[in-house]
Chains A and B, each alone.
Chain A
Amino acid sequence: MVENRPVLNILTHVVLIVGVAIVAFPVYLAFIASTHDANAFARGLAPMLPGPHMIDNYAQMLTSGLSSAGAPPVWLMLINSTIMALTIAIGKIAISIISAYAIVYFRFPFRLLAFWMIFITLMLPVEVRIMPTFKVVADLGMLNSYAGLTIPLIASATATFLFRQFFLTIPDELMEAARVDGAGPLKFFRDILLPLSRTNIAALFVILFIYGWVQYLWPLLVTTDSRYYTIVMGIKRLAASADADPYWNLVMAAVMLAMLPPVLVIILMQRLFVKGLVETEK
Chain B
Amino acid sequence: MATINLVDLQKSYGGNVLAVKGVNLSVADGELIVLVGPSGCGKSTLLRMVAGLESVTSGRIEINGRDVAKAEPAERDIAMVFQNYALYPHMTVRGNLEYGLKNRGTPRAEIDRRVKEAAEILEIGPMLDRKPRELSGGQRQRVAMGRAIVREPSAFLFDEPLSNLDAKLRVQMRVEIRKLQRRLKTTSLYVTHDQLEAMTLADRLVVMNGGLVEQIGTPTEVYDRPATLFVASFIGSPPMNLIPVDVMAQAEGFSALPLPPDTDIIGMRADQLVIEPPQGESIVLHGQVELLEPIGSESHLHVSLAGQTLVLRVPGRPDLADGATIKLYAPPSAMHPFNRATGRRTDSPPQA
Determine if B86 and A182 form an interchain contact, defined as CB atoms under 8 angstroms apart.
no
Q: Is the interface of B mostly helix, strand, loop or mixed?
A: loop
Interface residues on B, range: 20 to 34
B115 to chain A minimum Cβ distance, whole angstroms, is: 14
Query: Please, which residues of chain A bring their CB within 8 A of the CB of B89?
Result: 196
Query: A126 CB to closest chain B CB, in angstroms?
Result: 37
Q: Are B103 and A177 in contact (CB under 8 A)?
A: no
Cβ of B80 and Cβ of A182 under 8 Å apart? no
Task: Choose from B79, B84, B100 the contact partner of A171 (Cβ within 8 Å).
Answer: B84
Bound Cα distance from A182 to B72, whole angstroms:
9
B82 at the interface (CB under 8 A from A): yes
Residue contact A195 to B90, C-beta cutoff 8 Å = yes
The A-contacting residues of B in range 65-109, CB under 8 angstroms, are 72-74, 78-80, 82-90, 99-100, 103-104
Contact assessment for B103 and A179 in the assembled complex, using a CB-CB cutoff below 8 Å: no
A173/B88 contact (C-beta < 8 A), A181-B99, A181-B100 known:
no
Whether A14 is near chain B, meaning CB under 8 Å from some CB there, is no
Q: Say yes or no: is A180 at the interface (Cβ < 8 Å to chain B).
A: yes
Among A176, A181, A183, the most chain B Cβ lie within 10 Å of the Cβ of A181
- Say whether B51 faces chain A, with CB atoms less than 8 Å apart: yes
* A171 CA to B104 CA, complexed, in Å: 24
Q: Are A173 and B100 within 8 A (Cβ)? A: no
- Known contacts: A195-B90, A196-B89, A196-B90. The answer to whether A180 contacts B100 by CB under 8 A is yes
- What separation, in Å, do the CA atoms of A198 and B147 have in the docked complex? 25
The answer to whether A181 and B103 touch (CB under 8 A), given A173-B86, A174-B88, is yes
A176 touches B86 (CB 8 A): yes
Please give the distance in Å from A201's CB to the nearest CB on chain B: 13
Taking a contact as CB atoms under 8 Å apart, the answer to whether A176 and B82 are in contact is yes
Report the minimal beta-carbon distance from A6 to chain B, rounded to whole angstroms: 44
Among A190-227, those with CB < 8 Å from B are 191-192, 195-196, 198
A180 proximity list for chain B (CB < 8 A):
51-53, 73-74, 78-80, 100
A196 to B91, CA, bound (A): 10
- Docked complex Cα distance between A196 and B104 (Å): 23
Interface string of B12-55 (1 = CB under 8 A from A): 00000000000000000000000000000000000000011100
Does A187 make an interface contact (CB < 8 A)? yes
Complex CA gap A119/B74 in Å reads 36
CA–CA, A125 and B102, complex, Å: 46
Chain A residue nearest in CB terms to B74? A182
Determine the chain A residues whose CB is within 8 A of the CB of B52 once the complex forms.
179-180
Contact of B73 among A173, A179, A195, A196 (CB under 8 A): A179
With contact pairs A180-B78, A181-B74, A182-B74 given, residues A191 and B99 touching in the complex (Cβ less than 8 Å): yes
Residues of chain A within 8 A (CB-CB) of B79 are: 180
Residue of B nearest to A195 (CB): B90
Cross-chain contact of B80 among A177, A187, A196 (Cβ < 8 A): A177
- Whether the Cβ atoms of B84 and A182 lie closer than 8 Å is no
State A178–B72 Cα separation when bound (angstroms): 12
A183 in contact with B103 given A176-B53, A177-B80 (CB within 8 Å): yes
Is the beta-carbon distance between A192 and B88 smaller than 8 angstroms?
yes
**Whole-angstrom distance between the Cβ of A173 and the nearest chain B Cβ:** 4
Question: Min CB distance, A109 to chain B, in Å?
Answer: 15
Residues A173 and B103 in contact in the complex (CB < 8 Å), given A182-B74, A196-B89: no
Give complex CA distance A192, B89 in Å: 9
Task: Indicate if the CB atoms of B86 and A179 lie closer than 8 Å.
Answer: no
CA of A176 to CA of B88, assembled, Å: 11
Interface centre among A176, A178, A182, A192 (most CB of B within 10 A): A182
Bound-state CA distance A79–B103 (Å) is: 42
The residue from B74, B88, B147 contacting A179, defined by CB atoms under 8 A apart: B74
Q: How far is the CA of A177 from the CA of B147 in the complex (A)?
A: 10
A173 to B80, alpha carbons, bound, how many Å? 10
> Which residues 146-166 of B have a CB within 8 angstroms of A?
147, 151
Contact A187 B103 (CB under 8 A): yes
Q: Which residues of B contact A198 (CB under 8 A)?
A: 90
Task: State the CA gap A134–B151 with chains docked (Å).
Answer: 57
Pick the most buried of B87, B103, B147: most chain A CB atoms within 10 A of its CB. Answer: B103
Report chain B residues within 8 Å CB of A183: 74, 99, 103
A187 to B104, CA, bound (A): 12
Q: Which of A140-192 contact B (CB under 8 A)?
A: 171, 173-174, 176-183, 187, 191-192
Distance between B81 CB and nearest chain A CB, rounded to angstroms: 9
For this complex, 19 residue pairs linking A to B, each with C-beta atoms less than 8 Å apart, are A171-B86, A173-B83, A176-B51, A176-B86, A177-B80, A177-B86, A180-B53, A180-B73, A180-B100, A181-B147, A182-B103, A182-B104, A183-B74, A183-B99, A187-B103, A191-B99, A196-B89, A196-B90, A198-B90
Q: Residues of A at under 8 Å CB distance from B?
A: 171, 173-174, 176-183, 187, 191-192, 195-196, 198
User: Which 3 A-B pairs rank lowest in CB-CB distance, beginning with the nearest?
Assistant: A181-B100, A173-B86, A182-B103
